[in-house]
Amino acid sequence: MPGESRLSSLLLITRPADGVARVSLNRPERRNALNMALRVALAEAFRELGSDPGVRAIVLTGEGSSFSAGADLNEYLDATTIEVFKRDMHLLWGAIAECPKPVIAAVNGYALGGGCELALHADIIVAGRSAVFGQPEVKIGLIPGGGATQRVTRAVGKYAAMRLLLTGEPLPAAEALALGLISKLVDDGEVAAVALDYATRIAALPAIAVRQIKELVVDSMNSGLDSGLRLERKAFQIIFSTEDKTEGIKAFLEKRPPRFGGN
C-alpha cells in the first residue's frame, strides 16, 4: 500500500505510490558508501521486491546529499584475493541486475565507483544537474569490480569509456547525458519527483508487456542482432495471450482510458 515503509539501519524502503517501491541507501554520514552489510541488504531487498506481485516498478536512490560515493574502502584495505573471492560479490550485484521489475535510479550528488556501477544496474537514470559520475578506481590501484568496464562501454562506446575508466576523472551530469550514460537531467530538487513519476507511469502499464520489454532490451546487450530479433518475435507472439493486450486495443479503439489488470 502507498505510504507503507520499512526502516533499517542500512535501507529505507517505502511504497510511495500504487505498484511502486522506493529503496534508499541509508548511510548518509558516509555518503552511502557500499559496505558488505549494505550490499547484502540491497540484494535481499531486490530479491524480495522482484518477486512481490504488488511491485511493478522500483525507484533506487540515496539518503542525504549523495547517491553513493562508492565502495567502503575500509573493507578493501587489507583484503586478500581469497577473502574477496569468498564475498561472492557477483551474486549480490546479480540480485539487482536480474530484478525483473523496471528500476529507476534517482541520482543526486556523487555516484562514483561502485555507486556509479549501482546506478548503471538501473533501467532509467534520472540525475540532478549537480550530480557527478565516475569510475576512479584506477587512481587507487584498483579496477572496477561491479561491471563498469562492460556497462559503461555498452552505454557510451569504447572511446568515451576508455577516457572515463583509464583516467578516473569525474563526469558532470550534463556530460553524462550527452554521452548517453544517463536518461534524464533535471534540477536537483526535481530528481525524486521525476523518478517517481516515471515509476508511477510504468507501474500503471501492462505488467507482462513491461517485463518482456525489459528482458529483451537487457538480453540485447549480451546477444547478436539475429538472436535478439528472434527473442523479440517470440515475446511479441506471447503478448497476444494476455488480457491487457485485448483491453489496451479495445480502450484505444473506444477512445477511453485502459483498465489494465496485469494479466
- Please pick, among 70, 109, 113, 114, the residue that the annotation labels catalytic: 114
* Residue 62 is among the residues annotated as catalytic for this protein: no
The residues, any chain, with a CB within 8 Å of residue 207's CB and separated by 6 or more, are: 56, 244, 260, 262
Q: How far is CA 99 from CA 43, 50, 140, 253, in A?
A: 10, 5, 31, 34
Q: What cell was used for 207?
A: 505488467
- Please pick, among 17, 106, 113, 117, the residue that the annotation labels catalytic: 117
Give the residue among 69, 144, 61, 40 at the shortest CA–CA distance from 103: 61
- Please pick, among 17, 19, 109, 137, the residue that the annotation labels catalytic: 137
* Residue 71 is among the residues annotated as catalytic for this protein: yes
Per DSSP, helices labelled H in 168-203 are 173-179, 191-203
* Residue 114 is among the residues annotated as catalytic for this protein: yes
* Residue 134 is among the residues annotated as catalytic for this protein: no
Query: Residue 143 and residue 113: Cα distance in Å, rounded?
Result: 9
What amino acid occupies position 27?
A: R
- Please pick, among 71, 111, 122, 207, the residue that the annotation labels catalytic: 71
Q: Which residues are catalytic?
A: 71, 114, 117, 137
